Amino acid sequence: MKLKLTILFSIILLSASAQNNVIDSLKLLLKTPISDSTKVKVLGDLCWYYSGISTDSAFYFGNAALDLSKKTKNLNGEAQAYNDFGIIHYKLSNFDTSISFYKKALLIRIKNKDSSGVGSLYNKMGISYQRIFKMDSAIYFNTKALEIFEKLKNIQYVALIKNNIANIYFNLKQYEKALTEHLEVAEIRTKINDEYGLVHSYTNIGNSYLYLKDTLQSLTYYKKGIEVGEKNNYEQELSALYNNYGGVLKDQNKYGEAIKMFDKSLKLRKKLNDSYGISSVALNMGDLYLQTGKINNAELKFREALYLANKTNANELKMNSYKSLLYLFAHKNNSDSVIHYQKLYSVMQDSIFNSRVTKEIAEIQEKYDTAQREKEISQQKEQLLKSELEIKNKNLYALLLGSGLLVFSIISFGLYKRQQHKKREYLNQLQLKEAQTYSKLQDQRLRISRDLHDNIGSQLTFIISSIDNLKYLTDATNEKLKNKLAEINQFASATIGQLRDTIWAMNKNEISYQDLQSRLLAFIEKAKTVATTIQFHFTSNIQSSNIVFSSIKGMNIFRVFQEAINNTIKYAEATEINILISETDNHINFEIHDNGKGFDINTINLGNGLENMQRRILEVGGKITVTSAPNNGTSIKIICPKNKTNAV
């Protein structure tokens, strides 16, 4: 019977090869008298092949494989079915669902002691977590997969997982480290002639060079990737390369060439039903339309990107969509929408880039590095023992001498390790104390900010409400009292606004430039409602993406802007206010100009307002210059130095 099955199987395979139709050959095989285990394998293969053609058919054959596996207690088949379901949901951008199926498969493969299968699932889980920007989980599972495949000496998988880890560094904005890792992976893939993996490496190297502002190298590697991808018809990879290449062309103002690349990418991603990828292309196309003044087209693309990002739970794409919509509505002078999307953007940004994630990733990476060092020490010991054995075969004297040296080395090494251990313990205790102190300080800041909000904020609100009630109880002819109550009401309302800004700063360890800019835009929108006769013009030429302020510095700069704009509104009788933010290699510059009536700096008393502005800027190590003359407006320029890490 087995011989007949083998002959029949061979005939079917030959027929399939002639027809070049694997799916038909597998369906024919199902109609033959085959064992349950073979049937499970065939159903699983059909599920896999259909996953790139028809989702409904893939689920049909996958469920059939799962049902038969459970019925016949075929654990390997059951694990494979769950694995295939995870792959299908990943291709549909249902990343949370794909992870749940991978976990079901993982439990079975661990039970079966299937090391290669376990490593493969760890790798897939790491990629899925990376797509939903849970980087602590992503690097944890990738590291576990790397340990397994290094032990199995599977070079192709080692390169694949190192590539995934490099992508995590990229997502955490550690571009130089990501580039180093990707170049190493590309070298491995070139040696083993892995063209499919090499396309991914060229894409990732191009991305890294792009964020390091080396556009020439970036385009070189994108072109290499497109050449290999088109040669082998790698549709998934080409869809990403076309999108990235188009993004560079867009930034070079080559809009016609850029939109052609975006269209190519969009066509492939729709064919692949890749919601995550379509969302990314939509964001790029929206930016292009915004730059070329096609506002309505831009809004449609941004909203499409946001819808798909929500559908796939892709947090980073959601954050970028909020940011794009914020700038679009600022361009349309829609203050309510600017404030709405600024809040959504800030919440999502805080959710993604928190210190806990970075800390946990560092701890996991340190564990892996420690394991690598211990492995190297173990290999060194093994080499010493081999040397000792060779010496023993030569003569007794050499054996005694070698043994003595070995014992001396072990004792010295033991003493060295003991000292290193004590040193590490001391450093760990010191770091723990620092972390505990920082945690207490952070808790204290949060408690104070809550007290300010809950107690003082509510009391000020009560005062405003009471004053409003007093207005109605006051004699209608007593205008002086009514004006006084109105002044107190206005002062209390302004105090609440300042209190909220203070709480905003206290709740953050640091303030990014993007966050500060969003806050300034929101303040300008509020100012427009008060100063309806003044035109505001805001320009930012900041190119650096990693400028970060301490909460104190960020708040001081924000307060100076408030004070400057409020002074202009109250006293300058201006019709225009121009705000420019720019940077040099060593400084970041803030400028506020108005066309008001100005004043003579040499004769006028500057007052507490300008003195407070000077004090605040001096506190952050900066310099402020006020220039004015009668009938020539007023200019305020602030220069703040950058430190070595490009943070302010």
**Residue 444 — very low, low, confident or very high, per pLDDT cuts 50/70/90?**
low
**Residue 10 — very low, low, confident or very high, per pLDDT cuts 50/70/90?**
very low
Q: What SS3 class is residue 583?
A: strand
- What is d(CA 299, CA 283) in angstroms, rounded to the nearest whole number? 10
Average pLDDT in the 586-591 region?
88
CA geometry: angle 485, 527, 546, nearest 5 deg: 130
Residues forming a β-bridge with 337: none
> Nearest-CA neighbor of 596 among 571, 578, 574, 579?
574
**pLDDT value at residue 543:** 78
> Nearest-CA neighbor of 252 among 218, 279, 295, 282?
218
Q: Is 471 exposed, middle or buried (0-12, 13-18, 19+ CB in 10 A)?
A: middle
**Can you read off the two tokens belonging to residue 384?**
């010493």
The structure tokens 């320029």 sit at 637
**pLDDT value at residue 457:** 52
Query: Strands 587-594, 576-583: parallel, antiparallel or unpaired by DSSP?
Result: antiparallel
Average pLDDT in the 593-621 region?
80
- What is d(CA 576, CA 110) in angstroms, rounded to the nearest whole number? 69
> Nearest-CA neighbor of 30 among 44, 49, 20?
44
Average pLDDT in the 274-281 region?
90
Q: Is the pLDDT of residue 316 over 80?
A: yes
461: left (phi over 0), alpha (psi -120 to 50) or beta: alpha
**Can you read off the two tokens belonging to residue 37?**
């285990």
618-645 tens-digit pLDDT: 888 899 998 888 888 999 999 988 753 3
For every residue of 130-161, which 3-state class applies, written as one string?
HHCCCHHHHHHHHHHHHHHHHHHCCHHHHHHH
Average pLDDT in the 595-610 region?
76
**Can you read off the two tokens belonging to residue 507?**
């709740």
**pLDDT value at residue 144:** 92
The structure tokens 């009514």 sit at 482
Average pLDDT in the 288-292 region?
90
Q: In this predicted model, which residue has the larger pLDDT, 451 or 535?
A: 535
**Residue 436 — very low, low, confident or very high, per pLDDT cuts 50/70/90?**
low
Average pLDDT in the 455-464 region?
58
Q: Is the pLDDT of residue 500 over 70?
A: no
- What is d(CA 389, CA 403) in angstroms, rounded to the nearest whole number? 10
Q: Is 139 exposed, middle or buried (0-12, 13-18, 19+ CB in 10 A)?
A: buried
What single letter denotes the amino acid at residue 137? Answer: S
Q: How far apart are the first and last CA of the chain?
A: 78
**Residue 372 — very low, low, confident or very high, per pLDDT cuts 50/70/90?**
low
CA geometry: angle 332, 337, 338, nearest 5 deg: 75
**pLDDT value at residue 414:** 73
Q: Is the pLDDT of residue 473 over 90?
A: no
**pLDDT value at residue 209:** 92
Q: What SS3 class is residue 477?
A: coil
Q: Is the pLDDT of residue 574 over 60?
A: yes
**Residue 16 — very low, low, confident or very high, per pLDDT cuts 50/70/90?**
very low
Query: Strands 623-628, 548-550: parallel, antiparallel or unpaired by DSSP?
Result: unpaired
> Nearest-CA neighbor of 402 among 390, 417, 416, 414?
390
Average pLDDT in the 557-577 region?
88
**Can you read off the two tokens belonging to residue 224?**
């290499």
Q: List the single range of 321-330, 395-404, 622-631 with lowest mean pLDDT.
A: 395-404
**pLDDT value at residue 9:** 36
Average pLDDT in the 81-108 region?
92
**pLDDT value at residue 1:** 34
147-202 tens-digit pLDDT: 998 899 888 888 888 888 888 888 888 889 889 999 999 999 899 898 888 988 99
**pLDDT value at residue 17:** 41
For the chain, percent of residues with pLDDT exceeding 90:
24
Q: Is 203 exposed, middle or buried (0-12, 13-18, 19+ CB in 10 A)?
A: buried
Total Cβ atoms within 10 A of residue 387:
13
Average pLDDT in the 75-96 region?
91
Q: Is the pLDDT of residue 607 over 70?
A: no
Q: What SS3 class is residue 590?
A: strand
Q: In this predicted model, which residue has the larger pLDDT, 406 or 487?
A: 406
**pLDDT value at residue 645:** 39
- What is d(CA 487, CA 466) in angstroms, rounded to the nearest whole number? 14
Following CA atoms 84, 85, 86, 88 in sequence, which dihedral angle do they give, to the nearest 10 degrees? Answer: 90
Average pLDDT in the 365-382 region?
56
**pLDDT value at residue 443:** 55
Buried b (16+ CB within 10 A) or exposed e, 41-62: bbbbbbbbbbbeeeeeebbebb
Q: Is the pLDDT of residue 337 over 80?
A: yes
> Nearest-CA neighbor of 544 among 410, 617, 643, 442?
643
The structure tokens 């509505």 sit at 329
501-542 tens-digit pLDDT: 666 555 566 788 888 888 888 888 888 887 888 999 989 888
Q: Is the pLDDT of residue 591 over 90?
A: yes
**pLDDT value at residue 549:** 81
Q: Is the pLDDT of residue 89 over 80?
A: yes
**Can you read off the two tokens belonging to residue 598?**
């100005």
204-239 tens-digit pLDDT: 999 999 889 898 899 899 989 999 999 999 888 899
For every residue of 310-341, which 3-state class applies, written as one string?
HHHCCHHHHHHHHHHHHHHHHHCCCHHHHHHH
Q: What does the mean pLDDT of the chain come to? A: 79
Q: Is 543 exposed, middle or buried (0-12, 13-18, 19+ CB in 10 A)?
A: exposed
What single letter denotes the amino acid at residue 283? Answer: L
- What is d(CA 402, CA 392) in angstroms, rounded to the nearest whole number? 8
Cβ neighbours for 404, distance < 8 A, ≥ 6 positions apart: none
Instruction: Name the phi and psi angles at 538, rounded to 5.
Output: -115, 125
Q: Is the pLDDT of residue 476 over 60?
A: no
**Residue 20 — very low, low, confident or very high, per pLDDT cuts 50/70/90?**
very low
**pLDDT value at residue 167:** 85
- What is d(CA 342, CA 335) in angstroms, rounded to the nearest whole number? 10
**pLDDT value at residue 371:** 55
DSSP state of 395: -
- What is d(CA 345, CA 318) in angstroms, rounded to the nearest whole number? 8
**Cα→Cα distances 64→39, 45, 620, Å:** 10, 12, 67
**pLDDT value at residue 236:** 87
Q: Is the pLDDT of residue 446 over 60?
A: no
For the entire predicted model, the pTM comes to 0.41
